[in-house]
């Protein structure tokens, strides 16, 4: 099993989170903003030095949630100056919010800048962020899938081409620079609904599930593998990824205490709109098949190193080959987050890499 790490931070002022979503720009303080960025850089650099396989980056808008990165490509490019070994896992962009040709160009640039260390997860996004850009929620799945197909062709077609789709139309597409990785970097698609998992399988993409209970993870992996077989291929172990919160401490007792505190952190709750703002709808997924319950404010992994190894083994036994770990900031100080990374690297990562005789 491979281990990825998502650098995160918190703003440190509770009033910012109590203000609701979107967070008023008047509450931003430059020095606190600079500190947040530096803390994430410090975490990413240490994770790279400690031997984590991937460092991941995600996209959020209008609020300092787990990470204040409305453009994860910019943050990833900056982090590459410090991350020398680990792969760069861009878990974004949120495709309905972006021009897909521009996304393809950014992917190519990042792949070259990283020396061919880039991985991609294409996201549909969540309702409150989609509404921020006035995107029709009923169209976002189709937009995401068409944009994914367009980006893939833009990165792989050796000649300029035109595109006439339902949502995107371009007379000429010709992406420069080209890619280091051929035919393209490893692609992942979300598995937060069965429809999305089926699309991932149809494109031979990896599958990514976030903050969901194991019962759902087992179901969607089974569905994904069945769809992959129907399309004539079998996913590798490292093509199935799970992202979850991890509380890594020296004792189980300390971890359990922090797990209780985690459920109260305001920046880990699904944002609610402030008065006068557009209220987020329910999950935009259709009801035709199971949809992942999202448990962002809970610890998916919690305990001392031996307990964590046991919990991760259970996940591996379901078919997960990569775990993207989020150490909840706000619950821990920066020094405690760095200690958790060291504890994981010393006592957990070597053991999980041996799962399945790897």
Write down all domains in the chain, each with its CATH number in brackets.
2-357 (3.20.20.30)
Q: What's the per-residue H, E or C state across 49-80?
A: HHCCCEEEEECCCCCCCCCCCCCHHHHHHHHC
- C-alpha distances (whole Å) from 344 to each of 14, 40, 56, 213, 323 are 29, 17, 17, 22, 12
Q: Output the six-digit token pair for 258.
A: 């922090």
Helix axes 334-343, 30-50, angle to 10 degrees: 10
Place of tokens 């606190």: 32
What the block records as the tokens of 124 is 């549909």
Rounded CA-CA distance 346/50 in Å is 8
Predicted pLDDT at 280: 36
- For 83, the token pair is 């991350």
pTM exceeds 0.85:
yes
Q: In which residue ranges of the chain is pLDDT below 50?
A: 272-288, 358
Q: Which residues contact 44 (CB under 8 A, 6 or more apart)?
A: 5, 7, 55, 79, 82, 83
Cα 224 to Cα 193: distance, rounded to the nearest angstrom = 10
Give the single-character DSSP code of 236. Answer: -
Q: Are 161 and 169 in contact (CB under 8 A)?
A: no
CA 55 to chain centre: 10
C-beta of residue 161 within 8 angstroms of C-beta of residue 150: no
21 secondary structure, DSSP code? B
Tell me if 140 sits within 8 A of 284, measured CB to CB: yes
Alpha carbon distance 326, 18 (integer Å): 22
Residue 190's closest CA among 171, 203, 176, 181?
Answer: 203
Rounded CA separation 323/208 (Å): 10
* DSSP single-letter state for residue 138: G
Cα-atom radius of gyration of the chain, to the nearest Å? 20
Residue with tokens 């490292």: 238
Residue found by looking up tokens 């100080």 in the block: 333
pLDDT tens for residues 191-211? 989 999 999 999 999 999 999
How far apart are the C-alpha atoms of 60 and 94, rounded to whole Å? Answer: 9
φ, ψ (nearest 5 deg) of residue 263: -65, -15
């Amino acid at each position: 099993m491979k281990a990825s790490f998502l650098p995160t931070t918190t703003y440190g002022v509770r009033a910012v989170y109590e203000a609701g979503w979107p967070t008023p720009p008047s509450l931003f303080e430059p020095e606190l903003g600079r500190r947040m960025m530096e803390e994430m850089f410090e975490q990413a650099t240490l994770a790279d030095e400690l031997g984590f396989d991937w460092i991941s980056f995600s996209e959020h808008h209008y609020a300092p949630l787990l990470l204040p990165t409305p453009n994860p490509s910019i943050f990833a490019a900056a982090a590459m100056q410090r991350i020398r070994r680990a792969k760069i896992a861009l878990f974004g962009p949120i495709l309905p919010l972006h021009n897909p040709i521009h996304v393809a160009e950014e992917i190519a640039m990042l792949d070259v800048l990283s020396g061919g260390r880039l991985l991609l997860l294409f996201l549909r996004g969540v309702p409150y962020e989609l509404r921020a850009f006035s995107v029709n929620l009923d169209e976002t799945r189709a937009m995401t899938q068409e944009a994914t197909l367009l980006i893939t062709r833009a990165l792989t077609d050796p000649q300029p081409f035109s595109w006439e789709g339902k949502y995107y139309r371009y007379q000429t597409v010709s992406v420069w620079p080209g890619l280091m990785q051929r035919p393209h970097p490893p692609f992942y698609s979300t598995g937060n609904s069965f429809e999305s998992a089926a699309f991932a399988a149809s494109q031979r993409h990896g599958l990514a599930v976030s903050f969901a209970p194991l019962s759902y993870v087992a179901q969607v992996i089974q569905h994904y593998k069945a769809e992959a077989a129907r399309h004539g291929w079998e996913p590798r172990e490292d093509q199935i990824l799970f992202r979850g919160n991890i509380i890594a401490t020296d004792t189980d007792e300390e971890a359990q205490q922090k797990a209780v505190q985690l459920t109260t952190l305001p920046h880990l709750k699904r944002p609610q709109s402030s008065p006068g703002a557009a209220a987020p709808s329910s999950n935009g997924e259709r009801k035709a098949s199971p949809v992942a319950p999202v448990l962002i404010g809970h610890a998916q992994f919690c305990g001392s190193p031996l307990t964590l190894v046991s919990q991760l083994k259970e996940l591996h036994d379901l078919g997960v080959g990569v775990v993207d770990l989020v150490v909840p900031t706000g619950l821990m100080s920066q020094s405690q987050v760095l200690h958790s990374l060291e504890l994981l690297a010393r006592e957990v990562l070597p053991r999980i890499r041996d799962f399945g005789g790897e």
